[in-house]
């Protein structure tokens, strides 16, 4: 029996065609297969285990066999009162496995546990002002509503209430070290969560998870039409197609951009089939040549993709300037729509040379103070706090890298910080070290994107409200206020004397390389710039990085960054050692792919493994070494982009060292 489960329903809500590709080994799939690793990457694997601790009488239905679990569930439900973990309910070809079920007489309470924070106590917090389900909460409601529907069909003798069990962001950890009491262990190659014997009642009081009844919101959801179907008819149709392994054809839409079955053939060595190609070939009649062209899915920050898709104006060659209507926005450099049209226009004309706004770049560079400092943070947001009094999902800054470039063009990897000791809260030490590093001069500090600024502001807040004795609290706060801008969405106000410069914003305004295909992520801009800059090619094709008399490095020796294959520079990130040698090839590729979209995702996953998984010392050391190299390359990448700009506008020669 091919049961239609809640994970299949979730997949179908993204796109029903995915049901056909899922689970088939011949199709490339960019999703992480190991659910524990997936949860680790999303920072939430501990929440499910913690939730169970709040139901001390709960009985775990351990068998992974669905039929046996369904039979065991039936048996247990014969008792008047019982709490079950992983209870299984079947109805026809539907099957759901539930996080927590509490039976009291003929009342069944379903609790779906989610590693998602909430700051409200009533389900109305999940609605928009108009009373509809908010897009933020929709996928959680869909999940629990589906379960409620199937249980109600399977057990008409019960009245079913549905609850979401969420992380209460207004709560604080009652004790120190709570998150170290839920660890991942591997047995016979499989991961499971192990709860420490030292877990006490005090650890669980007050609770940091909150159950919110969502029955009314489920009713709203049931009343909606899905693709012109009533909810129950839609579920029946999906389950029927799935059981017969019949493909449901969907119209190509903007969601295809992030479809897990969309992998370039070369990434799988041509061995695996691409669901994306099959979908689009079937629906649009596309041939291999059509797939060579860029599409509206690639256009940076284009908000009307679906409109173009439904009009069947998908490839760059289908678009005209009038579709984008580029216009300046009164600020220096190229405006958003101008950049979009530039991308399409250069793509249509097959131009490969990058665009530089030399005049504005020169003006910006002349406003900077040397030496220049390039910094990059690696961070994490564990659901369960490290220390008593800390809130769930408080940011943890565990690593930075720092490159310096002098006025004479001399580059050096000046410093780094990393803290991976399990249970250590590293934020203040990390900021302290950064302050020490930047104290020697008043050179301009660079970041890439808003991340570093946001984290510094969050740590300032932590410093201000932390009840522990921090002797240099005022100094640390003053340092943060000197380089970080107050966040506009928070009630913060101070004057920044040495504000960090966001290199990403400068890229967006003054630099476009067609090889990035519209992505401004450092993971795309660096390889593109290395390919197009003759200066970088000449300098970094030599093994000067980390070489004696070359560029000082803390983690590399005699490294050449320009290594060509088939006339193209290999992405430097692909020259780095594997971050996780113990994961499957597919899962490793999935994490690295995720990292390209969500910069820092791979480092965060590595940090969570180092914090919460029992790993042999050798694996820990390898992971730490890889983290140091990745972070160093991130700040070196910023330096290289700066060097390419300098060479491009010929402000002054840049030394090779
Ligand atoms: S490529 Fe698009 S239509 Fe095909 S499965 Fe993915 S999201 Fe659905």
Per-residue pLDDT tens digits for 597-614: 677 788 988 999 999 988
Least confident of 210-224, 232-246, 584-598: 584-598
CA angle, 227 as apex, 224 and 233 as ends, to 5°?
70
Residue 256 Cα, ligand 1 centroid: separation in angstroms? 5
**Which residue's CA is the closest to the ligand 1 atom numbered 2?**
256
Locate the ligand 1 atom nearest the alpha carbon of residue 17 and give its number. Answer: 5
| pLDDT per residue as tens digits for the range 49-71 | 999 999 999 999 998 899 999 99
From the number of C-beta atoms within 10 Å of its C-beta (0-12, 13-18, 19+), residue 141 rates as buried
pTM for the model: 0.93
Is the link from the previous residue into 175 a cis peptide, with omega within 30 of 0? no
Top mutation candidate among 21, 253, 259, 314 for ligand 1, by most atoms within 8 Å of CB = 259
Percent of the chain past pLDDT 90, that is, above it, reads 84
Locate the ligand 1 atom nearest the alpha carbon of residue 15 and give its number. Answer: 8
Cβ-contact 457, 484 below 8 angstroms = yes
| pLDDT per residue as tens digits for the range 400-448 | 999 999 999 999 999 999 999 999 999 999 999 999 999 999 999 999 9
Residue 292 Cα, ligand 1 centroid: separation in angstroms? 18
Residue 19 Cα, ligand 1 centroid: separation in angstroms? 10
Return the SS3 of 173.
coil
**Arithmetic mean of pLDDT, 219-225:** 96
State both tokens at 119.
């700051």
**Arithmetic mean of pLDDT, 221-230:** 94
pLDDT band, very low/low/confident/very high, at 236 (cuts 50, 70, 90): very high
The whole-angstrom separation of Cα 162 and Cα 164 is 7
**Which residue's CA is the closest to the ligand 1 atom numbered 7?**
256
pLDDT at 133 over 50: yes
Residue 132 Cα, ligand 1 centroid: separation in angstroms? 27
pLDDT band, very low/low/confident/very high, at 653 (cuts 50, 70, 90): very low
Residues comprising the chain, all counted = 657
State both tokens at 81.
């009162």
pLDDT at 40: 75
pLDDT at 656: 45
Cβ-contact 434, 442 below 8 angstroms = no
Residue 18 Cα, ligand 1 centroid: separation in angstroms? 6
pLDDT at 43 over 80: no
- How many other CB atoms sit within 10 Å of the CB of residue 199? 16
| pLDDT per residue as tens digits for the range 332-385 | 999 999 999 999 999 999 999 999 999 999 999 999 999 999 999 999 999 999
pLDDT at 654 over 70: no
Question: Within 6 Å (CB) of ligand 1, which residues are found?
Answer: 15, 17-18, 250, 252, 255-256, 259, 261-262, 275-276, 279
pLDDT at 651: 59
Domain boundaries defined on the chain? 6-171+207-243, 254-355, 356-447+501-657
| pLDDT per residue as tens digits for the range 522-560 | 999 999 999 999 999 999 999 999 999 999 999 999 999
Top mutation candidate among 18, 24, 262 for ligand 1, by most atoms within 8 Å of CB = 18
pLDDT band, very low/low/confident/very high, at 590 (cuts 50, 70, 90): confident
Question: Among candidates 540, 555, 549, 563, which has minimal Cα distance to 647?
Answer: 540
CATH of 6-171+207-243, one of 3.30.450, 3.90.320, 3.40.50, 1.10.1760: 3.90.320
* Residue 184 vs residues 3, 161, 241: alpha-carbon distances, Å: 29, 32, 37
The whole-angstrom separation of Cα 210 and Cα 113 is 10
pLDDT at 214 over 90: yes
Residue 166 Cα, ligand 1 centroid: separation in angstroms? 30
**Arithmetic mean of pLDDT, 325-336:** 97
The whole-angstrom separation of Cα 472 and Cα 387 is 20
């Amino acid at each position: 029996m091919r049961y239609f489960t809640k994970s299949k329903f979730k997949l179908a809500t993204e796109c029903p065609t995915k049901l056909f590709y899922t689970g088939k080994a011949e199709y490339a799939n960019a999703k992480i297969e190991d659910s524990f690793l997936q949860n680790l990457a999303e920072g939430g694997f501990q929440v499910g285990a913690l939730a169970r601790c709040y139901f001390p009488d709960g009985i775990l239905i351990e068998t992974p066999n669905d039929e046996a679990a369904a039979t065991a569930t039936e048996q247990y439900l014969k008792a008047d009162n019982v709490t079950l973990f992983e209870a299984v309910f079947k109805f026809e070809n539907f099957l759901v496995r539930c996080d927590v079920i509490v039976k009291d007489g003929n009342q069944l309470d379903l609790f779906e546990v989610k590693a998602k924070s909430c700051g409200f106590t009533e389900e109305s917090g999940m609605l928009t002002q108009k009373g509809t389900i908010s897009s933020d909460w929709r996928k959680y409601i869909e999940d629990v509503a589906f379960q409620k529907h199937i249980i109600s069909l399977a057990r008409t003798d019960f009245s079913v209430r549905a609850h979401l069990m969420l992380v209460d962001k207004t709560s604080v950890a009652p004790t120190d070290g709570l998150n170290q009491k839920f660890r991942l262990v591997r047995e016979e190659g499989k991961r499971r969560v192990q709860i420490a014997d030292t877990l006490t009642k005090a650890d669980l009081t007050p609770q940091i998870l909150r159950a919110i009844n969502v029955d009314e919101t489920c009713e709203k959801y049931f009343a909606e039409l899905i693709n012109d179907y009533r909810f129950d008819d839609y579920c029946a149709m999906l389950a029927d197609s799935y059981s017969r392994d019949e493909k449901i054809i969907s119209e190509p839409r903007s969601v295809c951009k992030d479809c897990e079955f969309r992998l370039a053939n070369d990434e799988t060595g041509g061995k695996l089939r691409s669901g994306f190609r099959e979908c689009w070939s079937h629906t649009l009649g596309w041939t291999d040549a059509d797939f060579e062209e860029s599409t509206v899915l690639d256009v940076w920050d284009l908000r009307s993709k679906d409109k173009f898709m439904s009009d069947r104006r998908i490839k760059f060659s289908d678009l005209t300037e009038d579709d984008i209507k580029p216009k300046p926005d009164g600020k220096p450099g190229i405006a958003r729509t101008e950049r979009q049209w530039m991308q399409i226009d250069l793509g249509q004309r097959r131009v490969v040379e990058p665009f530089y706004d030399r005049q504005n770049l020169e003006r910006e560079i002349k406003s900077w103070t040397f030496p220049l400092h390039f910094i990059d943070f690696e961070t994490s947001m564990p659901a369960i706090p490290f220390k008593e009094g800390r809130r769930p999902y408080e940011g943890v800054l565990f690593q930075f890298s720092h490159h310096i470039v002098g006025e004479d063009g001399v580059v050096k990897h000046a410093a780094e910080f990393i803290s991976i000791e399990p249970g250590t809260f590293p934020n203040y030490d990390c900021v302290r070290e950064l302050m020490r590093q930047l104290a020697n001069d008043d050179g301009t500090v660079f970041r890439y994107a808003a991340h570093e600024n946001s984290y510094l502001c969050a740590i300032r807040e932590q410093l201000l409200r932390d009840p522990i004795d921090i002797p240099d609290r005022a100094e640390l706060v003053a340092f943060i206020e000197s380089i970080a801008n107050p966040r506009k969405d928070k009630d913060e106000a101070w004057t920044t004397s040495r504000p960090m410069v966001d290199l990403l914003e400068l890229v967006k305004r003054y630099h476009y390389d067609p090889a990035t295909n519209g992505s401004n992520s450092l993971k795309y801009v660096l390889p593109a710039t290395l390919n197009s800059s003759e200066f970088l090619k000449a300098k970094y094709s030599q093994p000067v990085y980390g070489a004696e008399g070359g560029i000082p490095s803390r983690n590399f020796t005699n490294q050449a960054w320009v290594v060509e294959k088939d006339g193209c520079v290999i992405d430097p990130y692909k020259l780095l050692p594997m971050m996780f040698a113990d994961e499957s090839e597919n899962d490793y590729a999935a994490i690295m792919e995720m990292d390209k979209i969500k910069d820092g995702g791979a480092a965060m996953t590595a940090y969570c493994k180092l914090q919460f998984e029992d790993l042999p010392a050798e694996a820990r050391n390898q992971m730490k070494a890889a983290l140091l190299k990745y972070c160093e390359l991130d700040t070196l990448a910023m330096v290289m982009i700066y060097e390419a700009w300098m060479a491009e506008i010929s402000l002054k020669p840049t030394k090779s060292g």
